[in-house]
Amino acid sequence: MQRAADEAGVRTLILLTPPPFDPYQRKPLDPAAREFGYKFPAVDYDRTLQQYSQWLLSLREEGQLVVDLHSTLNHHMEERRHEQVSFTVIPDSIHPNMTGHWLMALELIRQLSIAGPPFATIWNEDIPASGWQGTADLQGFAPLDPQVDLISVEQESKRGNAFCWQQLGWSKISIGKTWRLSVDSLQVGEFTSDELRNSIAVPLLRETDVIRKRQELLVKIRERRTLEYWQFRRGTDKPLGSTPPHANIPARIAELSKEIELLRQPVPCQVQLKPVD
């Protein structure tokens, strides 16, 4: 396999274990099937995928880079099912949904060690006993599709995933108190002075300008990708159609690129600390 990759000029071969099979979502397409197959999958088919995943992971001993998506999705679903037994990221039992793909992307980033350090804002100033207010430029989060389950995002944020968290800290805050933290008037939670001194990971805030800008960013990225693909296909023998999605595709792509760059900039947010009585 590695030899074939070398001959093809592949610099780094990355293997991925398959997403799991969710038997709770199994919907046979052929109730009269005489043998197992995609129209009538076995209830325990995930055992086969697990065995295959274990074999792939064993290749790590030979120096092969293998990213374990199978365990990642299974573990996430297992955790979420403590509170919602029907939870799944594989609604048709085979293909991950948007949340599943988001989780797979996180694991790929984590195992490839390409995620940078978490965005952090640390204030080195005395905090009055009555409370404090300031401004932080929040980098926010990667563009998030509306179909991604926000509880899953919050869960990954709390686990310290650098792809979706923001750190805030106050190095000189008075010890021995509990503080209520808010961002843009939305309460984040209550934290001890020690926690705030060490900096805390801010969970996903659903109604802030940070998230709104990220959603707008996602829409524009999708539009640009669509135009670029349409333009690419127009130069082949299989164009997508005779009516282009925009009168001047190159100009629109350039316009979108500028808008995307602006939306990628940090968002100023009001941060507030109040002592808990």
* Number of C-beta neighbours around residue 67 at 10 A: 19
Instruction: Give the pLDDT confidence score for residue 116 in this predicted structure.
Output: 54
Q: For domain 2-112, give the fold.
A: Rossmann fold (3.40.50)
Instruction: Give the pLDDT confidence score for residue 250 in this predicted structure.
Output: 93
* Averages of pLDDT over each 10 residues, the chain, 277 residues: 75 93 94 91 95 96 94 95 96 94 87 65 88 82 67 69 68 88 87 88 65 81 91 81 86 95 85 90
Instruction: Give the pLDDT confidence score for residue 156 in this predicted structure.
Output: 73
Compute the Cα dihedral for 204, 208, 209, 215 and give only its sign: positive
pTM: predicted TM-score of the whole model, two decimal places = 0.65
**CA 207/CA 63 separation, integer angstroms:** 45
Sketch the domain layout of the chain as residue ranges: 2-112, 119-207+267-275, 209-263
Element (H, E) at 260: helix 249-263
What contacts 102, CB < 8 A, 6 or more positions away?
144, 145, 148, 152, 153
Instruction: Give the pLDDT confidence score for residue 52 in this predicted structure.
Output: 97
Compute the Cα dihedral for 148, 153, 156, 157 and give only its sign: positive
Q: How far separated are the first and last CA of the chain, in Å rounded? A: 64
- Single-letter amino acid code for the residue at 26: R
Instruction: Give the pLDDT confidence score for residue 73 in this predicted structure.
Output: 97
Maximum CA extent, the chain: 74
